[in-house]
Structure formats: structure tokens, C-alpha cells
Amino acid sequence: MQRSSSGASGPLGSLAVFMASRDGNDSSLLEMAYEVGAQIAERGIELVYGGGGSGLMGAVSRGALDRRGRVYGVIPSFMVEREWGRTGEPGLEMHVVDTMHQRKAMMTARADAFLVLPGGLGTLEEMFEVWTWQTLGLHAKPLGLLNPDGFWDPLVAMLDRIAGTGFMSRELVDALVVDADLPTVIEGLQRRALER
């Protein structure tokens, strides 16, 4: 049986989730984020995330913790000083690091796959960095986009256009798991994890 990065058996013992640290303008996205955390915990998958306590980040971690899930947070010290992090809760293993790069490196090392929820610049930067690392052969972990109400459709269209111009491979775009339904995305990530 395959052993995951977190030590659990199965293809997805841990899942890094990248998302907004803000609430945004649509409260349904906060509810969706909470449900993502809850479903991750119910599946016995460890949530790996950026350690924040607000926005979609806070909602995902709260959903997982409310279901007694395992949550592995990584947060830079400057964010702790600004009291942006979640602390001292059962099921939460929090790591404080010096830099944003260390944060992403720890999350990438811990995770068996990556899931991207709606977010802004930080979310996009995290997604593109782990995807770039994948293309460079630094890891073979799958990447998925949860696409509520077509949130990521413009990005996917742009990626299709880039692939059409020959600046990235079609296989790379086709390897993304994109769907509005969380179970479909998780099952797609599990399949891709077994293929690596």
C-alpha cells in the first residue's frame, strides 16, 4: 500500500489547500470553504494550509477542526505577530517559520496533492509555484481547482490559450482536475496520485 507524505496509508493522506485569507463579497464561498474542511476531515485526510484564522482560510480550518480532523498549519512569524494565525486548538499542529518561501516549501513537502479554492494574488502565486515545481520534476503531486460558479473558468480559458500557442504543454493543462463538485475533485486527485 502506498504511504502518503503525512504518514497515512492511501494516495491522499494529506491535502494542501490554497485559498483567500479574506472573506470576499460572496458569503456562499465562506460556507463552501467550511464544507471543504469538513469533507476533508470526514475522509480522514489531513488538511495542510497556511495557518490563517480569517477568510476562506479560517473557514476551511474551522470546518476540519469542527469534524475533529487533523490540521497542519504553516505560518510565517510576521503573520503571528499580527495575530493572523489560529492557535491552541485540539487537532491543530501549527508551525511558525521565518519566511513565506519556507511556508510554501513545508506545505509542499507535507502534502500529497494540492487543492485551490477561490482567492486572490497569494492564492494564484501558491498555485503557480507548486505547478511550476511539478513541471520542473521537483514533485509529481496532482493539482486541482474547486470551481464554484465557474470562478476559475477565465483562468482555465487563459491556460488553454497559452497551451494553444505552444508556451506550455497541453498535457499539463489536461492534468489539472477542475470541477465545481468537491467529491469529484478529490476523487480526481486520488486517481492522479495513484498514477504518479
Indicate whether 43 belongs to any domain: yes
Of the ranges 3-12, 77-86, 131-140, which one carries the lowest mean pLDDT score? 3-12
The residue type found at 181 is D
Indicate whether 4 belongs to any domain: no
pTM of the model: 0.91
Indicate whether 8 belongs to any domain: no
For the stretch 37-94, pLDDT in tens is 999 999 999 999 999 889 999 999 999 999 999 999 999 988 777 767 666 777 789 9
Percent of the chain with pLDDT over 90: 83
Asked if residues 18 and 126 have their Cβ atoms less than 8 Å apart, the reply is yes
| Residue keyed to cell 520534476 | 137
For the stretch 93-128, pLDDT in tens is 999 999 999 999 999 999 999 999 999 999 999 999
Indicate whether 128 belongs to any domain: yes
Domain span at residue 104 reads 14-195
Indicate whether 21 belongs to any domain: yes
Across the chain, how many H-helices and E-strands are there? 8, 7
Asked if residues 96 and 76 have their Cβ atoms less than 8 Å apart, the reply is yes
Task: Classify burial at 184, counting beta carbons within 10 Å of its beta carbon; exposed 0-12, middle 13-18, buried 19 or more.
Answer: middle
What's the CATH number where 123 sits?
A: 3.40.50.450
Indicate whether 1 belongs to any domain: no
How many other C-beta atoms are found inside a 10 Å radius of the C-beta of residue 98?
A: 10
How many distinct structural domains can be found in the chain? 1
| Residue keyed to cell 469538513 | 38
- DSSP sequence for 91-144: TEEEEEESSHHHHHHHHHHH-SSEEE-S--HHHHHHHHHHHHHHHTTS----EE
